[in-house]
Amino acid sequence: MQMTCTREEAAALTREGLASIAFATSDLIPPILEGFKRFIQKPEEERRRWSFDYATEGDPDTGYLPRTGQEAPDGTYDDKITFHYRIEELLGRLLYNRVDLSREELEWFDYLHMLSERCIFNAYRLLKHLDDLGCHSDFWLRAHPDRGLHEHMIRLIAYRKPPTDNLGQIARMHRDRGSITFALYESHSGLEFTKLTGEKGGREDEFENPTNWYGVSSLPDQPKVFTGLKGEELLQIPASWHRVMKRDDQPQGILRLSVVFFFHIPGAEVTKPTH
């Protein structure tokens, strides 16, 4: 995102999935993916020991998320392997669960930790930038070591057997629930955005019209940045509708890998339901 654009221009670029923020990721993504592929190779029984429930939410939200093969509440198909890394969170839970970590796995955590720190720092840099453009939210001032670092999360996704719904979507159109999302890496094309905003209800034709969607890809070291529903509430930037389409460059049986970072704006609660 250029420092010279206005707040409205920045908001439009962000909403349309066209904004990116420059920082180094390409040195960390390859070893993170290698570690993820090794994790995927583990037997399901062992993977389950890396799965942790947040009691209040009732679903595993740290580590490995067992797939159900069902449609998830956010409208996406749960036919993929998902792994959540939360800084200061996962390692302690694994130790408590008496999971022994190999040297390779500890190194994998080092890389995930470094990527988390870079993402968190640059998310605050982005908030500072938005403030400078006239947002005046002062959210960036809320950076404090005591404030829920574990709320930020790196999500690794391996789509294994893309379903064939009538629109060709691997991940159905949705808006993220959180504040700010960085699309850090996609192994294949297929990520799409739209200029459409607001609720879909009653506008299904509009949302299902392929001409309203366009492909977006992240260049190395320039993650795409966009807002979720909480970000819409806090930053007044409409949350971005997006989806992932099956593409011919992903042959059947080949994993489609993606790396996403979700930034939580601390100390700010949104009360309205997000779904």
- The residues binding Fe ion (CB under 5 A) are 176
Nearer to Fe ion by C-beta: 94 or 123? 123
Nearer to Fe ion by C-beta: 16 or 176? 176
Nearer to Fe ion by C-beta: 83 or 108? 83
Shortest reach from residue 92's CB to Fe ion, in Å: 27
Identity of the residue numbered 136 = H
Q: Which of 191, 186, 179, 193 is nearest to 123 (CA)?
A: 179
Helix (H) or strand (E) holding 255: none
Residue 66 CA, chain-centre distance (Å), reads: 17
Q: Which of 2, 11, 9, 5 is nearest to 226 (CA)?
A: 11
Identity of the residue numbered 249 = D
Distance CA 64, CA 52 (A): 8
Shortest reach from residue 151's CB to Fe ion, in Å: 17
> How far is CA 161 from each of CA 81, 84, 175, 251, rounded to the nearest angstrom?
10, 20, 23, 10
Shortest reach from residue 179's CB to Fe ion, in Å: 13
β-sheet bridge partners, residue 226: 181
Shortest reach from residue 130's CB to Fe ion, in Å: 20
Shortest reach from residue 226's CB to Fe ion, in Å: 9
Shortest reach from residue 242's CB to Fe ion, in Å: 6
Nearer to Fe ion by C-beta: 176 or 192? 176
CB 128 within 8 A of CB 140: yes
Shortest reach from residue 136's CB to Fe ion, in Å: 28
Q: Which residue minimizes CB distance to Fe ion? A: 176
Nearer to Fe ion by C-beta: 94 or 244? 244
Angle at 165 between CA 208 and CA 60, to 5 degrees: 105
Nearer to Fe ion by C-beta: 94 or 171? 171
Distance CA 63, CA 82 (A): 8
Nearer to Fe ion by C-beta: 140 or 162? 162
β-sheet bridge partners, residue 183: 224, 260
Burial of 57 (0-12, 13-18, 19+ CB in 10 A): exposed
